[in-house]
Structure 1
Amino acid sequence: MSRRQRLRLVLVLGSLIAVGPLTIDMYLPALPSIVTDLSTTPAAVQLTLTGTLAGLALGQLLIGPVSDAVGRRVPLLAGVGLHVVASLLCVVAPGIGTLGVLRVLQGLGVAAAAVVATAVVRDLFAGAAFARLFSRLMLVMGAAPILAPTLGSAVLGWTNWRGVFVTLAAFGLLLIVVAAVGLPETLPAGRRRHDGIAGTGRVYRTLLRDRPFVGLVLVTGLAMAALFAYVSGSSFVLQDGYGLDEQEFGLAFGAGALGLIAATQLNVRLLRRYTPQRILVSSLSVGTAAGLLLIVLAVTGVGGLAGLLAALWVVLAASGLALPNAPALALSRHGEAAGTAAALLGAVQFGVGALAAPLVGVLGTGAVAMALVVAGGMVSALVVLVVVVRPARLAAVDPAVAVVAAH
């Protein structure tokens, strides 16, 4: 593959990966205004975020095997098309129930982009080449959450929350054109799987019988739950509780995401000296301590907004170290079924994460509710790692997998 072809592939796949974080995060600054406009409650609005994550989780389980059977392009174009239709319907959603259902459909469509992008890299590259290309794509994954709320805030500067979904629909349409023109089929007919539902079920059963794998998957999901507790609760805490406007919230949210990205890049250097197991234990320990401190600061009010944000950003940085290494250790155990293992990992990651949003809503919209769920996710992840996974007993991870995870 020439340098020009590789660059085009990175741009196309980067666009596919970006649509997920944009769909999840772009409307976050508008959550309080959606509560008012649709005459609903913060908990109900947070469930629309849960719907997107649930769609992502279910979609990965379904689309992964389908793309292995029929190729990459058809599921991709169909999924992004579903995302576009759901986004346009969100624009005219009359109530919170309809909006919640449509967000699930958006998540299903986004899942196609996430699964296919990963599968295409796996189809075309292996070893160090795989690691290098995937690391570039992970930078896109890290930058998109920073840009999404800020872009959402910019859109809200000239329109209302419905305009955010117009923007998402327009991006989806552009993505269909880009994928149709710039992404050829990468899975030849001779390499497609034809063992049907029964064969896929057998692979899933094998994965679920592997205790360390299941534990690492749960660790990833619980760490993601802590992250999404922040994602779902921060707009209410920072805007309603501390008086930030939509633009100021976008900057604060972006600063936290920047810390997460910095941690993922620090992980590259740390992996040269330490094992993924050691980094994972250390990061979850720091994240747990910061989460418990977050509860104290939220209850007492000591340190004000600055103290709250500082503790949150430490949790995010710890997540930036934990989230790459837990999947790397999990996937290194099942190279013979990497695609299905990745689909299961992604499903649990977003499925468990999806539970955080309504839990924050049930507990309330204040800083204490968000802090309890954030800290609960980190504490639970550390307990599962120590009790279920027992990281000291894990075999060394493949260096190529570790490099991919680090980015």
Structure 2
Amino acid sequence: MLCILALISAIAPLSTDMYLPGLPIMAESLDTSAASVQLTLTTFMAGLGIGQLIIGPISDGIGRRRLLLGAAAITTLASAACALAPNIEFLIGARLIQGLSGGAAIVLARACIADRARGNGAAKLFSIMMIIGGVAPVVAPLLGGVLLGPVGWRGIFWVLTAAGAVMVAGVLTLVPETLPPERRHGGGLKALVANLGYVTGNRRYLGYALAFIFGFGALFSYIAASPFVVQNVLGLTPSQFSMVFAVNAVGMVAAATITARLLGRLSARTLLNFGVALLTISGAVLFCTAALFNSTNPAALLIPLFVSVSSIGFIMGNATALAQGEVTAAAGTGSALMGAGQFGLAAAVSPLVGIAGPDTAVPMAIAIPTFGLLAALSLALFARKADAAN
């Protein structure tokens, strides 16, 4: 069950990273501009956020399994539609549907775990799911590059269709209903407003959720800027960039693995604090190197960048578990708000880290420690005050 939920959670990086190598060929194949092809990424990211925001609260009223099965099925069909797209307008629409259904599947997968586990146990499960799902950012760009030649960009979407079919089969056979009828809320606008009020009124939830969102903001700053920083600023080749990307992803997965092993001896909150501190300090070193000293030495930039990316492995699983543990009565709504904030911030970060052009690392070096500081402030202003009040 955990492996299937991890695969579902990995649909975002798989659907984002696998087809990126084929963007120039797609523009030529569909007789359109590069900007129009890039819009397929924007609509997918927007769909991810909107899908989570809609389906999460609904699932608190009617349960998870039926919605999860429907979302997985629609994701599969949307991937097939992308593969068959006759023009760019059709592809943009199919990517939006793929994002909406993929976002719904992600929020439901997270809610299924929150229904079943609490405290350090939940943190361990979320960390294990992150380990499994963390393979996707490592494999996806490499797999996309390998597949592009033999099967083309349409073949990549057929591979995503096959992954969707595995998701559907996995939900059918391995994922039971995790929210029993007695724990569900009545439907309608009144129940939705009540759930939103319950979730946003919990200060500790807000602190942990914001730490999660800002941690992802730091990660996406790296994802959006690193192709230009590594190749244009540091002068490395595309294949060397793929190796740097893979090594950093391995560091993040290794941190999540350490988290899973330490939980029980250390609390999820302690590990979260460590991850946020590590992100902020390594980000500050990166800022000094790139912005203050304007260094283009690969080691001087890549070492603090590796530590910053690795620190996310201590943040995401623990912050998710702690936030969800605060709002167990409306886990779907809580997960939806986190997901919407996560991908909404990602959509805003992407143009910001490129605002100074493709030949500088300064915007990324500013963004990463800034998000680390915002995560630390969120924990200090919300979670700790609430703890003291109790």
TM-score category (smaller protein): 0.7 to 0.9
What's the counterpart of residue 310 of structure 1? Answer: 303
What's the counterpart of residue 288 of structure 1? Answer: 283
What's the counterpart of residue 405 of structure 1? Answer: none
What's the counterpart of residue 366 of structure 2? Answer: 375
Cα separation, partners in 2 of 1:327 and 1:78, compared to 1, 3 Å: closer
Judge conservation of contact 1:221–1:353 (CA < 8 Å) in 2: no
Q: Distance in 2 between matches of 1:98 and 1:360?
A: 29
Cα separation, partners in 2 of 1:16 and 1:319, compared to 1, 3 Å: closer
Cα separation, partners in 2 of 1:329 and 1:111, compared to 1, 3 Å: same
What's the counterpart of residue 353 of structure 1? Answer: 346
Q: Distance in 2 between matches of 1:156 and 1:382?
A: 40
Q: Give unpaired runs (5+ residues) of structure 2.
A: none
> Which amino acid is 1:24 matched to?
T
Judge conservation of contact 2:114–2:331 (CA < 8 Å) in 1: no
What's the counterpart of residue 229 of structure 1? Answer: 221
**Residues 3-402 of structure 1: matches in 2 within 5 Å?**
9-31=1-23, 33-34=25-26, 39-41=32-34, 46-93=38-85, 98-125=90-117, 130=122, 133-211=125-203, 213-238=205-230, 242=235, 244-245=237-238, 248-268=240-260, 272=265, 275-276=270-271, 278-293=273-288, 295-296=290-291, 300=294, 302-304=296-298, 306-368=299-361, 371-373=362-364, 375-383=366-374, 385-386=376-377, 389-390=380-381, 392-393=384-385, 395=387
User: How many pairs does the alignment contain?
Assistant: 382
- Amino-acid identity (%): 36
Cα separation, partners in 2 of 1:327 and 1:132, compared to 1, 3 Å: closer
> Which amino acid is 1:265 matched to?
T
Structure 1 position 48, deviation (Å): 3.5
Cα separation, partners in 2 of 1:197 and 1:137, compared to 1, 3 Å: same
Cα separation, partners in 2 of 1:105 and 1:27, compared to 1, 3 Å: same
Structure 1 position 258, deviation (Å): 0.6
Structure 1 position 307, deviation (Å): 4.0
Q: Secondary structure at the match of 1:194?
A: coil
Cα separation, partners in 2 of 1:374 and 1:327, compared to 1, 3 Å: farther
Judge conservation of contact 1:81–1:176 (CA < 8 Å) in 2: yes
Cα separation, partners in 2 of 1:386 and 1:73, compared to 1, 3 Å: closer
Structure 1 position 345, deviation (Å): 1.3
> Which amino acid is 2:22 matched to?
A
Judge conservation of contact 1:72–1:120 (CA < 8 Å) in 2: yes
Judge conservation of contact 1:264–1:321 (CA < 8 Å) in 2: yes
> Which amino acid is 2:210 matched to?
L
Cα separation, partners in 2 of 1:115 and 1:147, compared to 1, 3 Å: same
Judge conservation of contact 1:286–1:318 (CA < 8 Å) in 2: no
Judge conservation of contact 1:276–1:329 (CA < 8 Å) in 2: no
> Which amino acid is 1:181 matched to?
T
Judge conservation of contact 1:57–1:351 (CA < 8 Å) in 2: yes
Q: Give unpaired runs (5+ residues) of structure 1.
A: 1-8, 397-407
Q: Secondary structure at the match of 2:326?
A: coil
Structure 1 position 26, deviation (Å): 2.0
Structure 1 position 60, deviation (Å): 1.4
Q: Distance in 2 between matches of 1:67 and 1:92?
A: 31
Cα separation, partners in 2 of 1:75 and 1:315, compared to 1, 3 Å: same
Structure 1 position 168, deviation (Å): 0.6
Q: Distance in 1 between matches of 2:368 and 2:47?
A: 21
> Which amino acid is 2:46 matched to?
A
Judge conservation of contact 1:71–1:186 (CA < 8 Å) in 2: yes
Q: How large is the RMSD of aligned CA atoms in angstroms? A: 3.4
Structure 1 position 65, deviation (Å): 2.4
Judge conservation of contact 2:123–2:318 (CA < 8 Å) in 1: no
Taking structure 2 as the reference length, what is the TM-score of the superposition?
0.82
Judge conservation of contact 2:212–2:316 (CA < 8 Å) in 1: yes
Q: Distance in 2 between matches of 1:167 and 1:76?
A: 20
Bigger mean CA offset, 273-282 vs 316-325 = 273-282
How big is each residue's C-alpha offset from its partner over 1:69-97, in whole Å with a ceiling of 9 and x where there is no partner?
33333212221222123222323446656
How big is each residue's C-alpha offset from its partner over 1:99-120, in whole Å with a ceiling of 9 and x where there is no partner?
4443332121112322332333
